Amino acid sequence: MHSLARWFPFLNWPKPTLALLRGELWAGLTVGLMLLPQGVAYAALAGMPLITGIYASIVPATVAILFSPSPRLGVGPTALSALLIGASLTGMAEPGSAQWVALAAWMAILAGLLQWVLGLVRAGWLLNLVTSPVLAGFTQAAALLILASQLPTLLGMRADWSTVWHSPSLYLFDWNSIAYGLGSMALLMLAKKWRPAFPSAIFIIALTGLVSWATGFADSGGAVVGHLPAGLPHFQWPGMLGWEDFGALVMPVLVISLVSFLETASSAQVEHQQAGTRWNENQDLIAQGLSKLSAGLFGSFATSASFSRSAVNLLAGAKTGYSNVFSILLVIAVVLWFIPWLYHVPQAALAAIVITAVLNLVKPKLILGLFKISRVEGCISVTTLILTILSAPRMYWGVFAGLALNQAYFLYQHLHPRIIEVGLHPDGSLRSRQLWQLPPLAPKLIALRMDADMDFATASALERYATEALQQHPGDTDIALLMQSINNIDITGVETFARLERMVSLRGGTLHVIGLKLPAEQRLHRAGLLERMGSIVKLYRTSEEFLAQLRRQTGDKPVP
């Protein structure tokens, strides 16, 4: 049973009781009432038929909670994923057309397959390649792009921005739509401050739909949701994908897979921290992959874990995955019996829901705070933000540019490790001689410490530092290597160690090796570099042992 639960985490759910289900019911209804308007709004953002946003909240969400070790996550359509879908397909098809829907389905299928395979091979560690600065820059840029994409709908614009700029006129705006949009935003913000867990979005949908029906907004040409097909989603094969379209989807699929799993990670880590459990990122990769696969095969688009809905689920007191079961049942009930009620809902109200949700992502102080910690990483974040905006709708270039810059910075740091010559500080610790103006540990001795592994990237820097130090002090004969921070020595490091040993031997000195760890020691032994121990190479387990030996050699006399 335990092995089955590893692959089917829902088997670990507690046995349902009346008290448990009562609390889960309230949490599930709260999230379900949020999910309905957001699903429709995010479908519009993705350029998909509006009903697909509700479909994405049924089968994909069910698959996710059954296979996820984080069953309280609110899985379904999200703003970031919807924006990536809409931006990536721009120019490939007409929004809302059959070809657009098929390409979006294939994006979900391919992203799902990728995540599923990564989960099976336990490659969740790849998540660590995306640093906070890159993610922060991309998130801020995506939020700004989402806000820009929703402004025309919020303002009821009857023309594009170019026309408004060159021929400004009040008649290019629908003032009724502006009233619905701004009024909805105001109510949503007030509700958020008043009671964050309250499903204010569905209240706005109901209120604006009722007012729209009463005033005949749709009959006067106002932009409303319109007719949506009733009934549950069913299996739909999106047709064969041509090689040209496949090539065009590769980069967007990679970014959607990455970004959606980062969304999942941010929510799942909060859930498991609250529960005091360990997050199994590989199983969540499998769950999210299967969820996207089912989304593509059941007429919707790529899903992800929503941070806002997950947070509301936890805030509402959800303890298990039963809360999400209730939210899915609510969505099913709406699809079966209440879809016609959405006809009169103004599209400006949907835009207001998206904008209000995305405003939470706009955090300029977050990027400014990065500069206080690291100017370089702050610049990487800003560069990611700018390039993401400039490369829109091909936003993935901004992400990959940020990743490339971050890896280049990582490589630069690794190629330039911190190497210091140490001396004895008055508090008894070994610290930088240059920084603390300390005397050498002993006559004719240079004591070095490198705070990195001794590998192909760092070994040459250590050899160069040691060579220059000996050239500046021709009378010195001994070198001490403090190796407590060195966990690994590769072949290049072994060769460098051999050259240091030979350099000391030519001067008639000794190579003191302090704190050499067992894996590194075994590798040096296999290379035959510790065979002359006692004559040229001396090993010390601790710095204290090394300092005691120096005191015996100098007769406890102060070092000049």
The one-letter amino acid code at 352 reads A
* Count of beta carbons in the 10 Å neighbourhood of residue 480: 25
Residues with Cβ < 8 Å from 2, sequence gap 6 or more? Answer: none
Q: How far apart are the C-alpha atoms of 312 and 333, rounded to whole Å? A: 21
pLDDT tens, position by position, 110-152 = 999 999 999 999 988 887 788 889 988 988 998 898 888 888 8
On average, the pLDDT of the chain sits at: 89
Residues with Cβ < 8 Å from 315, sequence gap 6 or more? Answer: 196, 197
Rg of the chain, C-alpha, whole Å: 31
DSSP labels for 250-278? HHHHHHHHHHHHHHHHHHHHHHHHHHT--
Here the tokens at position 475 are: 């009378």
pLDDT of residue 280: 86
419: closest CA among 386, 463, 366?
463
pTM of the model: 0.81
Q: How far apart are the C-alpha atoms of 529 and 513, rounded to whole Å? A: 12
The residue that leads in pLDDT, 358 or 478, is 478
pLDDT of residue 534: 67
Strand 419-424 and strand 445-450: the pairing is antiparallel
354-378: b (≥16 Cβ within 10 Å) or e: bbbbbbebeeeebbeebeeeeeebb
Band of the pLDDT at 253, cuts 50, 70, 90?
very high
Torsion of CA 63, 67, 72, 74, to 10 degrees: -40
pLDDT of residue 560: 41
Residues with Cβ < 8 Å from 502, sequence gap 6 or more? Answer: none
For residues 366 and 136, the answer to whether their CB atoms sit within 8 Å is yes
pLDDT of residue 559 exceeding 70: no
Here the tokens at position 134 are: 């890159």
The residue that leads in pLDDT, 402 or 13, is 402
Question: Which residue's structure tokens are 């989603």?
Answer: 233
Lowest mean pLDDT among 9-13, 169-173, 241-245, 537-541: 169-173
Cis peptide before 168 (omega within 30 of 0): no
Here the tokens at position 4 are: 């089955």
Here the tokens at position 27 are: 């949490």
DSSP labels for 279-328? --HHHHHHHHHHHHHHHHHTT----EEEHHHHHHHHHTT--STHHHHHHH
Here the tokens at position 533 are: 């121990």
Q: How far apart are the C-alpha atoms of 15 and 247, rounded to whole Å? A: 48
Give the mean model confidence (pLDDT) for residues 243-269. 88
Give the mean model confidence (pLDDT) for residues 302-320. 82
Q: How far apart are the C-alpha atoms of 235 and 440, rounded to whole Å? A: 76
* Count of beta carbons in the 10 Å neighbourhood of residue 197: 18
Torsion of CA 238, 242, 244, 245, to 10 degrees: 0
First to last CA, the chain: 71
pLDDT tens, position by position, 518-543 = 999 999 999 988 876 667 899 999 99
* Beta bridge pairs of residue 454: 489
pLDDT tens, position by position, 316-356 = 778 888 999 999 999 999 888 888 888 999 999 988 988 88
Greatest pairwise CA separation for the chain in angstroms: 101
Question: Which residue's structure tokens are 């897979």?
Answer: 257
In this structure, what are the phi and psi dihedrals at residue 506, rounded to the nearest 5 degrees? -65, -25
Q: How far apart are the C-alpha atoms of 437 and 423, rounded to whole Å? A: 9
